Amino acid sequence: MTSKLFLKIQKMDGIRLNFFGLSVLFSFFCFNWRFHICLSIAYNEGLRLYSIKLKKDSNMSTAQKAKILQLIDSCCQNAKSTQLKSLSFVIGAVNGTTKEAKRTYIQEQCEFLEKLRQQKIREGRINILSMDAGVSNFAFSKMQLLNNDPLPKVLDWQKINLEEKFFQNLKKLSLNPAETSELVFNLTEYLFESMPIPDMFTIERQRTRTMSSRHILDPILKVNILEQILFSNLENKMKYTNKIPNTSKLRYMVCSSDPHRMTSYWCIPREETPTSSKKLKSNKHSKDSRIKLVKKILSTSILEGNSTSSTKLVEFIGVWNNRIRNALTKKKSFKLCDILEIQDNSGVRKDDDLADSFLHCLSWMEWLKNYESITELLNSKTLVKTQFGQVFEFCENKVQKLKFLQNTYNND
């Protein structure tokens, strides 16, 4: 007889699973609970029936999860939905529609951030390079955060016309796979030319439609192809290099960065009224708002110097410091392209690509710093409920600080 599998959950001390055809003993993990599985054999109408009863074993540790991830999940178990929302916000996790979904997304983001935290502990610093993909206006920002420094430093910030830089003999990139493959290969190699090699690459996730249009335009298709191949190249470069004997191993992560989460972090929605709702929603996600925000971050960084003010978010050193200071001195309204001293062959002189790559990079730095603060609150041998309260208090305070920052920049 062909074995068939079915699942039945009964209300009892444990969970009873009934199914045919299974004859192995196994164990598994569910959140921070570990269960022993007791196997018993029964007979039902000539068929062998296996009943598996799962009992909680509270004395057994969860070896597969890092300690801090267990603590964070324990913190989330009895939290309110609003508390989970604040936690999701400050670490850059997806905000699920149910408490269970929120917990799942929080755990996924924390697992990713924990890898970054461990890398930062090992190396004494973390380097992140964030990209806004585009053929004519490819932009990236590279930042570094040292263990003992409160603010990240900008290492590099560029905007490139990929056709001009890598295809001198071609005016426009076609949808020919050979051309796209060559261009992205050259771009990938270019990203590794300057040291240090990033610990994480992020690529802004691209849209697949233009507004409400049902059609996918060629420029959008090209950018989506660029995003996909670039992601693949970065992943495969590491896998291939690490298989070569007697070579330095590459250890970095590649992440598709959600533009909505980035924008929502820096542009928190205000209380809406019936007359202002549409205007606020459109302004919140506008390119102009993000460009204005980046300009404020830049000017604050320079004007406040060595200050540790809550409105100062990033450090500019060396040539960057001089360029921004010169731009602020010459005129009140400046373009980001002017600070980077971008030439005519670097695409259209527009600032939104530069602003987005900068904010993506700074967002991940902020999410990592917030996650580190949470781990410090929870990293104790004796866990008490007050620590859980401190975590959510920290999250709410962080939200209020960001709202204050937003109001400060908007009122200037």
CATH code of the domain covering residue 129: 3.30.420.10
Whether 53 contacts 15, CB under 8 Å: yes
The alpha carbon of 368 is separated from its chain's Cα centroid by a whole number of angstroms, namely 9
Q: Label residue 76 left, alpha or beta by phi (over 0 means left) and psi (-120 to 50 means alpha).
A: alpha
| pLDDT on residue 307 | 62
Quick one: 23 and 99 in the same domain? no
Q: Which residue's entry shows tokens 């597969």?
A: 64
| pLDDT on residue 255 | 94
Please give the tally of structural domains in the chain: 2
Q: Which residues contact 284 (CB under 8 A, 6 or more apart)?
A: 263, 267, 269
| pLDDT on residue 203 | 96
Structural domain containing residue 4: 1-64
Quick one: 50 and 89 in the same domain? no
| Tokens (6 digits) for 177 | 């796979």
Residue where a domain stops, chosen among 64, 86, 112: 64
Q: Which of 48, 51, 29 is nearest to 38 (CA)?
A: 51
Q: Label residue 21 left, alpha or beta by phi (over 0 means left) and psi (-120 to 50 means alpha).
A: left
- List the chain residues with pLDDT less than 50: 1-64, 272-277, 279-280, 283-284
Quick one: 181 and 305 in the same domain? yes
Quick one: 5 and 99 in the same domain? no
| pLDDT on residue 61 | 36
Residue where a domain stops, chosen among 64, 92, 111: 64
| pLDDT on residue 234 | 95
Quick one: 22 and 95 in the same domain? no
Cα–Cα distance measured from residue 171 to residue 223, given in angstroms and rounded to the nearest whole number: 17
| pLDDT on residue 4 | 38
Q: Which residues contact 331 (CB under 8 A, 6 or more apart)?
A: none
Residue where a domain stops, chosen among 31, 49, 64: 64
Quick one: 34 and 177 in the same domain? no
| pLDDT on residue 84 | 95
| pLDDT on residue 169 | 63
Quick one: 27 and 153 in the same domain? no
Quick one: 90 and 55 in the same domain? no
Quick one: 50 and 90 in the same domain? no
Q: Which residue's entry shows tokens 């295809």?
A: 167
Quick one: 121 and 46 in the same domain? no
Quick one: 184 and 212 in the same domain? yes
